Amino acid sequence: MRLPSAERYTPQVAKEQRWLPALAPHLPQPIPAPLALGRPGAGYPWPWSVYRWLDGETARRERIADLPAFAADLAAFLVALQRIDTSGGPPPGPHSFCRGGPLATYDGETRRALATLHGLVDARAAMAVWEAALAAPWYGPPVWFHGDVAVNNLLVRSGRLCAVLDFGCCGVGDPACDTVIAWTFLDSESRAVFRAGLPIDDDTWVRGRGWALWKALITLAEDQAHDSEKAVGSLRTIGALLADAGFNRGDGES
């Protein structure tokens, strides 16, 4: 069962019901298959979905036998997704939280977050990465994007990628947002494999760094006082993407 936790997520229910059956036959790994559409009731105010169970474990480093092979499989999945006919597909908007759209949507939020993190991150380097991402143009045709390629949405079995979950942020637009996992989860070797497997140009990679930086900064700004797992992960992500952009390693990556 998949129940929106807030009203802003409710448009994703109808979108997944409509599009997941159309996308699934074209993809190399399984994705959720809608079985039923639930109606508001019994104190729950929004529509919800029932999906067929997908067997597997949430992706974690210790569960993956070969991280470069995992990166190659994930890249192949995204390539297949991007090749699907986009006719009638949903353009970026509130339903995707603007994933697939202009990175500039989050310019103000990113700058405010960075201003609160003085001394915690390399502000000069981070701003250089952000401004490079804003300046990197996207001229390609719209393609299908997942919108939230994160480890919690990836299942593994016997050490290999076996399913991709949660298409709530999917749509048709710029695929740069789907590269974020390169810095949030992959290491330098598997990141290179991932990039080599994607049909993207340098500007798309640069915009991907921007998407990763935005999310890491706003998460860190929220959690910096708590030394939480999220804060530690955000610092690691920032270190990885700054190193990938040619700045000193800083917090780096493991």
Q: How many CA atoms lie within 13 A of 246 on its CB side?
A: 4
What digits encode the pLDDT tens for the residues 110-138?
999 999 998 899 999 999 999 999 999 89
The first and second tokens of residue 222, run together, are 């929220």
The first and second tokens of residue 78, run together, are 């995204």
Residue 35, SS3? strand
Is residue 250's pLDDT more than 70?
no
The first and second tokens of residue 28, run together, are 């190399």
What digits encode the pLDDT tens for the residues 180-234?
999 999 999 999 999 999 999 999 999 999 999 999 999 999 877 666 888 889 9
pLDDT of residue 227: 62
CATH for 56-244 is 3.90.1200.10
Q: Could you tell me the residue ranges of all domains in the chain?
A: 56-244
Report the alpha-carbon distance of residue 90 to residue 211 in Å, rounded: 20
Q: pTM higher than 0.85, yes or no?
A: yes
**Could you tell me which of 166, 232, 242, 188 has the C-alpha nearest to residue 210?**
242
The mean of the pLDDT values for the chain is 94
pLDDT of residue 251: 43
DSSP secondary structure string for all residues of 195-251:
HHTS---HHHHHHHHHHHHHHHHHHHHHHTTTT-HHHHHHHHHHHHHHHHTTS--TT
Q: What percent of the chain has pLDDT over 70?
A: 96
> Per residue in 187-201, is it b (16+ CB within 10 Å) or e — as a string?
eeebbebbbebbebe
What digits encode the pLDDT tens for the residues 36-50?
999 999 999 999 999
